[in-house]
Amino acid sequence: MPASRDSASRIESVSGTTVRIILKNAKTEVSLFKLQNLLKTSPRLKEIVTSLSLGESGLTVITSRPLRNEELAELERVLLRAYNCVECLECANWCPSKAISPDPRGGIIVGGQCTGCGLCNSKCPLAEYVQRIRERGIR
């Protein structure tokens, strides 16, 4: 399948403290809210991300320092969850603080009781599936 048919949001480029992201099939009117909301699930990213901006070419994330590979991978998982959620609620099933509920606009919303354990990020089947496909070079 050609790269242009990849329907998931993904990191396009990383340069220093700037990460540029392609948003595909995302509802841009709620894009920033969704990412800001899901950053709560990753205290590490929440501390590092200093600003988010949405433009015609996608989303730009500015960080306080260059991200390490594992932080980039975590950011991509959060992005996948924010913009490609199919509302299976597997994340909510695993959430020990019961902080996740369906969002009426689509996807999920993380409530104030989130402890930032990150279990939801590691249990999201969509994020896991998309990452495995990308690792195999299938687009």
The predicted structure's pLDDT at residue 29: 54
Reference 42, options 74, 18, 65, 19; nearest CA is 74
From CA 88, how far away is CA 94, in angstroms rounded? 12
The predicted structure's pLDDT at residue 115: 92
Indicate the domain borders of the chain.
3-135
From CA 137, how far away is CA 67, in angstroms rounded? 23
- Return the residue matching tokens 């496909």: 133
Confidence category of residue 11, pLDDT binned at 50, 70, 90: confident
Note the pLDDT tens digit of each residue in 105-122. Answer: 777 888 889 999 989 988
From CA 20, how far away is CA 12, in angstroms rounded? 5
Q: Compute the mean pLDDT over every residue in the chain, rounded to the nearest whole number.
A: 81
Confidence category of residue 58, pLDDT binned at 50, 70, 90: confident
Q: Are 41 and 114 in contact (CB under 8 A)?
A: yes
pTM assigned to the model: 0.76
Dmax over CA atoms of the chain, in Å, equals: 42
